[in-house]
Amino acid sequence: MVYFEALKQIKQKQFDSVYLLYGTESYLVQDIQQAIVQYGLTEEEQEVNLSIYDLEEFPIQEVVMDAETFPFFGERKILICKNASLFKAKPDKAQVEHDMSVLQQYLTEPVDYSILVFIAPYEKVDERKKVIKQIKQQGKVIPCQSLKEHEMSDWIQSIARELHINIESAAIDVFIQENGTNLMAIRNELQKMSSYVGDEGTITKDIAEMLAAHNPQASALKLVDAVMNQNVEQAILLYKDLEKQNEEPIALLALLASQFRLIYQSKLLKQKGYSQNQMAQQIKAHPFAIKMALKRERGFSEGQLAQITQLLTEADASMKQGKMEKNLSFELLLYELIHVKKNKK
C-alpha cells in the first residue's frame, strides 16, 4: 500500500517534492501530514517555514510563489494546501481563480527546498489530469481510503511496532470487532494497552477483551453469538451489562437488527455465488463486517433468519408503540430469538 511505503520513507527523512493526499479516511491523511511536518522541520523551523493554505481562499499561483521563495532559515519549507478540489474531475466552485498552468510549470522542475502537500478530502481525484501525472513523476499520490481487512491488520501491527509492543492476531480481531474501522479509536486502545503490557510486551486476546472499551456495535455481535449458541444466560448477562451502561433498548434493537440483516444478506448473496468483496460492494459494508457475517451465517438456516427478521420488526413496532415496557420487551425478544434457533426448521 502506498500509504505504508510513503510513511516509512518520511520517517527515514526521505522526502518527495510534492504529495497529493486524497480520500475520506481523515486519520490517514492527518497521519501522513503530521509525519511530513514532524520529520521535515524542527519545532523552531515550524514557526517560520510551515505555511497552511486553504485553496478555497488562496489561488494556486500564490502557493507556487511561496514555494519558490527560499526558506527563512533551515534547509526546507513545507506548504500544506487544504481543500484541493482542483484535482477532482469537476472542481468545486471557489472564490478564487486557480491558474493550473503555473502549477504545471512548477512541477516540471520543482525546487529542492520546498515540500508541497495537497490535501483533497474527496473519494476520488481525476488521475487522467496532466497535473496529477506530473505529481506522480515528481512525488507521490497517496489514496487515503478506508483500509481493507488485510490492510487493517498491517496497520495495527505497524502501530504496535511503533509503540514497541507485540500483538497476537486473535487480539487484532478483537480490536477490529470492538472499533470497526475507527483508526483513531484503535490507536488510542493500543496506546492504552501498551502501558499495561510494557515495553516489548504482548497484547493477547484475553488482554484485549479485558481492557478494550466495549461499544454497542460489538455487543450486538456478541448477542448474535449468544442466540446462535442458544445461550439464554449469556444473552441476558450481555443485555444487563448494556443496561447498566444506559444503552437504550430501541437503539440496541436497531443494532441487533442491522447485524442479523447483514448476516441474512450475506447468506443470500453467498447462495448466489458472490465473493466476499462482491458482497461488500453490493451491501456497501466494510469487508471485515462481511467476514464476521459469513462466519455467523453458517449457524442459521435461511428460514430461521427470515423468522428472526420478522420478530425484530415486530419488537421494534411494539417498543415504539409502547405496548410493553422496553427493557422487558427486549429480554422477551432474546428468549424468542433463541427459541427460533432451537427450531431446526
Q: Please write the tens of the pLDDT for every residue from 259-269.
A: 899 999 999 99
User: What is the reported pTM?
Assistant: 0.66
* Confidence at residue 214, expressed as pLDDT on a 0 to 100 scale: 66
**Residue 52 CB neighbours (<10 A):** 14
Mean pLDDT of the chain: 88
**Residues shown for the chain:** 345
Query: Which sign does the torsion angle of CA 112, 113, 115, 116 carry?
Result: negative
Render pLDDT for 46-96 as a digit per residue (tens, 0 to 9). Answer: 999 999 999 999 999 999 999 999 998 889 999 999 999 989 888 877 788
Q: How confident is the model at residue 1 (pLDDT cuts 50, 70, 90)?
A: low
Rounded Cα gap, residues 293 and 266, in angstroms:
7
Contact, 70 vs 33, CB < 8 A? no
Convert 81-121 into a string of H (helix), E (strand) and C (coil).
Answer: EECCHHHCCCCCCCCCCCCHHHHHHHHHCCCCCEEEEEEEC
Please state the rounded mean pLDDT for residues 320-345.
84
Helix axes 183-197, 149-162, angle to 10 degrees: 40
Percent of the chain with pLDDT over 70: 97
Q: What is the pLDDT of residue 72?
A: 81
> For residue 184, what pLDDT band results from cuts at 50, 70 and 90?
confident
Percentage of the chain lying above the pLDDT 90 cut: 50
Amino acid of residue 50: L
Q: What is the pLDDT of residue 80?
A: 97
Three-state SS at 18: strand
Q: For 198-209, what is the mean pLDDT?
A: 91
Distance (Å, rounded) from C-alpha 102 to C-alpha 115? Answer: 16
| Per-residue pLDDT at 345 exceeds 60 | no
The per-residue pLDDT for 342 is 77
Domains observed in the chain: 2-143 (3.40.50.300), 149-211 (1.10.8.60), 216-342 (1.20.272.10)
